Structure formats: structure tokens, C-alpha cells
Structure 1
Amino acid sequence: MSITFVGGGNMASALIGGLLQQDYPVTQIRVVEISPESRDKIKHRFGVATATELEKGVAGCDIILLAVKPQQLFTVAEQLAPLLTSQLVISIAAGIRTLDLSRWLGGYSCIVRAMPNTPSLIRAGVTGLYALPAVAIQQKENVTNILSAVGSVLWVEQEALLDAVTAISGSGPAYVFYFIEAMQQAGVELGLSMEQARQLTLQTFLGAVQLANQSEEDVVILRSRVTSKGGTTERALQKMDQDDIKNAIVRAIHVAFKRAQQMGDELGSK
């Protein structure tokens, strides 16, 4: 399957790199990018064919992956609409709903919407996926194979659930970095150097995530095993419960979910 990436930014580069690592034929990948600097960077880094114009870039391709900013997608879609025949269109533009994109593409309905997150840049991401009914099973399998190049994938049956995906995994790395900041700050305040606090914090997160991922037990059980009665962990968690930290995090994610819904309304209003 030949793939044309429209846009050559970080996420497109991550996907191309992941595909090539999986021995995807370099001759089956093209990139349409208007920036000479970005276009040359991708060409030299990956050896893929590049183009400046959509018509030349999508000619004869099977899959078109839209990797432009959400604010640019309306203009790109208007230019792309007359060039579509039977290609599968994948959009990774955050917030743009499939029905709005379909409308911009003149009623074209062979569309998949993807919501990757930033760890995809190191091929450790997770991507939420939703397909319009016109997308065939084999095409969905092709999408799974493409996005799996940068991490795991999760298909949802209702597009509205992609707002929840956005609130959990799309925004989620920032929540983790926020907690890491707090732990590093506490470490420095307790006398550690910044380098020491960083090493301890990052390795603790990495180890805890790997343990949770490899364990068949729920994280509630794993947490309880670290929490000795009368010990330091119990005292810290009691303080977090007293400050309502868990519920504050849950409320914050609900706010992110509502904002994702609002952004869908705003971005699709054209």
C-alpha cells in the first residue's frame, strides 16, 4: 500500500521512521510538504520521495495521511477533495471530527480519525482510532499496521469516545510530567541535587509503569503492597487523600474532556 503524508512535521516523521524500521518499502512512501527546509530534512533523513503540490503527491497512492495542524486542515481538504477517488484518508489533526472532514472533502466518507500522543515520537505512544462506516475491514487493518509503528492502538466504536481518549492519553503525558515536576521539586527541597532528584523520579516512574504493565493485578493491589501500615507511604497517601488529590485529577480530566468537545465544535464550524 502506497502512503502519502500531507505534512512533514514531527508526528509524520515519527510514523515514517517507525514504518521504515518495520521494513516498509521506502518507495511506497511520499510526503507533501510546502516548507523547503522540512521537505529537505525528511528527504535526507528517510530517503522518501517528496512533493510540494497535493496533486503530484497523492497521484496513484492508496492511503493519504493528513498530518497538518487542525487550523490548516480545512484549506488542505478543499484542495484535496477533487483528487479523491477510492483512497483511504487518515487524519491525525486533533479535534477535527470525521463528519466535518467528510463535509470539507465534498462528502467523501472513506475516513479514519486518529488521536496519537506525544510518546509516539519515540515509538512508545498510544493512538485512539475511529472509522466511518464506509471504511472496509482490510483498510482498518492497514491503519492498525501503520499506527502500530509508533506504539499501541485502540479502536473505538463511537467517535465521541475520542474526546475521552484525548483527555486521558492525548493530554495524559502532561499530567505525568506535572507529577514528575512535583516529585523532583520535593527531592531538591529535601536536600538532593536536581540530577539526583531527576534520576530517582524518572526511574521510579519507569519501574512502576513497567511493573503495572507486566502484572496481572490491579494497580490498587500494587499500591496497597507498597503501603505498609504506619509507614512513610501510608502517611504520604493519607495527606494526598486529605488534600483530595485523586478526585482533583479526575475532575481535571473531565474538564479536558469537555474542552475536547468544545474544540470539535469550534474547529468544525466552517
Structure 2
Amino acid sequence: MTTKFGLIGGGVMGEALLSRLIARKIYQPSEVLVSEPQTSRQSFLEDEYGVGITADNRVVFTPTTEVVFLAVKPQVFSAIAQELADVIAGDSKPLIISILAGVTLSQLEATFGHLPVIRAMPNTPATVGAGITAISLGAYTKPSHQETAKQLFSAVGEVVEVSESLMDAVTGLSGSGPAYVALLVEALADGGVATGLPRAIANQLALQTVLGTAKLLHETKLHPAELKDRVTSPGGTTIAGIAQLERAGFRSALIEAVKAATARSQELGK
């Protein structure tokens, strides 16, 4: 087996990327080596995707490895860094891509020397191929590394590039954002139940309304305010609902949620 893609951490996000890369034939299963400590996950990933499995993180660094993807908990990064110290100086010169929240490019580069490093922040819709990932480039990256990262993360959704100083804001918006949207869907459904709709119907109406509206905005490129105006007729039902949302501080609450999550991300990064 010739390893081209090494994955350290076979959890939810690591598997999400892995599954899409193989489905899109960006890598063949025989070219992928996953390092995962849990034997149950090892067996599952091997059976499900036909990839190589190891419990030794150092093994993914081979002379043919093009990319090493770090998808472990940030708390174990220092331990992994110590473990990898002897192999980083070897013949393997892969692109390092990290999705470890709060682990900075300077920390990564201090560990991986002059290897090219890219820091990324995907979000949970990546597990169904509908995510968005922000990437920040390290000091030793070249345009080819940037294109590789964009190709990989395009397999699980859209990709944007930001300066690292904005990564906490990305965390506060798109990283934490799925939870805000889930609350919105839940609240819409509860409102339907409060007005007499059966729970199953209310859930279906709420979910499809959010999904359809997002798709409409995405495909038409309409500004959200323009779509809102199109739905809002004079003296009608929608403006009555919007007026109540404004009284309740709906928009301000979302803005403050993003700001609070951003601030918390900054705290965790320290």
C-alpha cells in the first residue's frame, strides 16, 4: 500500500471528510491510512471504507504521504506533538491540515518545523456534504498547498479563505451557527404546536421552511432583506410576525450570540 493521505483521528469530522474523499475518488482506499486509538472505530473504518488502519500516529508519515489531516481533540495535541517529534525530521514532507480548534498556526509550525501547515474550521453540516470550511494558510504554504486544501474541503461543502485573526469569528458564526439554526427550527416547530399543529407536521413544516429558504437565498443570490420584503405584504401576517420578532430582539440576540461565541473562542485559544 502506498499512503498518500494520512488521517490522525477517525472521529465524526475525520470520517466525514474521509467518506467524501473516497466517494469522489480523490483518494483510493488503498492510498489512505487512518490512525485511530479505539479498536471499535478501527474495525468500523476498515470495514466501511477499506482503508488502512493503525494505532501509531507516526506511521502515517511516509515518503509518499501528500497530506496529513489532524482531526483529534485539541487537548491531546501536545502529546501527539511529542510523539511525532522524531518522524517530522524524516523523509516525509506532507502538507499538514489541522481542524483543531484553538491551536494556532504558530503552535502547529513550532511542532512541524518547516512543513507547510493550513489551519481549518469546518462545521457539522460537513457530515452530509453541506458544510462550509474556513482555511488560514501558514508561512510555508505554496499555491499548490492552498489548492489541495480547497479540493479536500470542497468534498464536504464550500470553502473560504480568511486570515488567522478571523478564525475566532468564524468559530462564532459558522462553527457554532448550526446550533443557532437548530434552535430556530425547534422554536418554529414549538410555535406551530402552540397554535394547534400536530408535532410531526410542525417539525416538518419548520425544517423544510428553513431548508428551502436557505436554498432559495443560495441559488438566487437574493439579499436576505430583499427576500423578506417579497414575503411581507402591507398589513399582512408576515409583517405582524416580524414586528413581534423585533420587539423580542430576535436579530440582536443572534448578533450577540455570534459575538459571545467568538469571545469564548478567543478565551479558549489562550
Matched, 1:93 2:100: yes
Q: CA RMSD of the aligned region, Å?
A: 1.3
Q: Please tell me whether the aligned partners of residues 50 and 57 of structure 1 are also in contact (alpha carbons under 8 angstroms).
A: no
Which of 20, 23, 27 is matched with 1:21 structurally?
23
| CA distance in structure 2 between the aligned counterparts of 1:217 and 1:204, rounded to whole angstroms | 16
Aligned match of 1:194: 199
User: Structure 1 residue 227: deviation in Å?
Assistant: 0.8
| CA distance in structure 2 between the aligned counterparts of 1:81 and 1:171, rounded to whole angstroms | 33
Post-superposition Cα deviations, 1:13-36, rounded to whole Å, max 9, x if no partner, equal 111110111112222111011111
| CA distance in structure 1 between the aligned counterparts of 2:16 and 2:82, rounded to whole angstroms | 26
Gaps of 5+ in 2: none
- Residue aligned with 1:59, SS: coil
User: Structure 1 residue 216: deviation in Å?
Assistant: 3.0
Q: Please tell me whether the aligned partners of residues 112 and 130 of structure 1 are also in contact (alpha carbons under 8 angstroms).
A: yes
Post-superposition Cα deviations, 1:211-270, rounded to whole Å, max 9, x if no partner, equal 1011132111110110111111101111111222111211121111111111111xxxxx
User: Structure 1 residue 155: deviation in Å?
Assistant: 0.9
User: Structure 1 residue 56: deviation in Å?
Assistant: 2.1
Aligned match of 1:45: 48
| CA distance in structure 2 between the aligned counterparts of 1:230 and 1:128, rounded to whole angstroms | 42
Which of 234, 238, 241 is matched with 1:233 structurally?
238
Deviates more, 1:173-182 or 1:85-94: 85-94
User: Which residue identity does 1:148 align to in structure 2?
Assistant: S
- Residue aligned with 1:160, SS: helix
Q: Please tell me whether the aligned partners of residues 109 and 132 of structure 1 are also in contact (alpha carbons under 8 angstroms).
A: no
**Scaled by the length of structure 2, what TM-score is found?**
0.94
Deviates more, 1:93-102 or 1:34-43: 93-102
User: Which residue identity does 1:120 align to in structure 2?
Assistant: A
**Scaled by the length of structure 1, what TM-score is found?**
0.94
Matched, 1:257 2:262: yes
Which of 134, 137, 161 is matched with 2:140 structurally?
134
Post-superposition Cα deviations, 1:57-92, rounded to whole Å, max 9, x if no partner, equal 322312111110111111112212321252211111
Which of 178, 181, 189 is matched with 1:176 structurally?
181
Q: Please tell me whether the aligned partners of residues 134 and 160 of structure 2 are also in contact (alpha carbons under 8 angstroms).
A: yes
Q: Please tell me whether the aligned partners of residues 67 and 97 of structure 2 are also in contact (alpha carbons under 8 angstroms).
A: yes
Matched, 1:3 2:10: no
How many residues align? The count is 263
User: Which residue identity does 1:56 align to in structure 2?
Assistant: V
Deviating 4+ runs (over 3 angstroms): 106-109
Aligned match of 1:268: none
Matched, 1:32 2:39: no
Deviates more, 1:40-49 or 1:213-222: 213-222
User: Structure 1 residue 109: deviation in Å?
Assistant: 4.9
Which of 106, 111, 125 is matched with 1:119 structurally?
125
Q: Please tell me whether the aligned partners of residues 123 and 150 of structure 1 are also in contact (alpha carbons under 8 angstroms).
A: yes
| CA distance in structure 2 between the aligned counterparts of 1:251 and 1:106, rounded to whole angstroms | 37
User: Which residue identity does 2:60 align to in structure 1?
Assistant: G
Aligned match of 2:222: 217
User: Structure 1 residue 146: deviation in Å?
Assistant: 1.0
- Residue aligned with 1:114, SS: strand
Post-superposition Cα deviations, 1:110-133, rounded to whole Å, max 9, x if no partner, equal 211110000001111000100112
- Residue aligned with 2:164, SS: coil
Aligned match of 1:81: 85
User: Structure 1 residue 206: deviation in Å?
Assistant: 1.1
User: Which residue identity does 1:90 align to in structure 2?
Assistant: I
Q: Please tell me whether the aligned partners of residues 26 and 47 of structure 1 are also in contact (alpha carbons under 8 angstroms).
A: yes
| CA distance in structure 2 between the aligned counterparts of 1:44 and 1:217, rounded to whole angstroms | 44
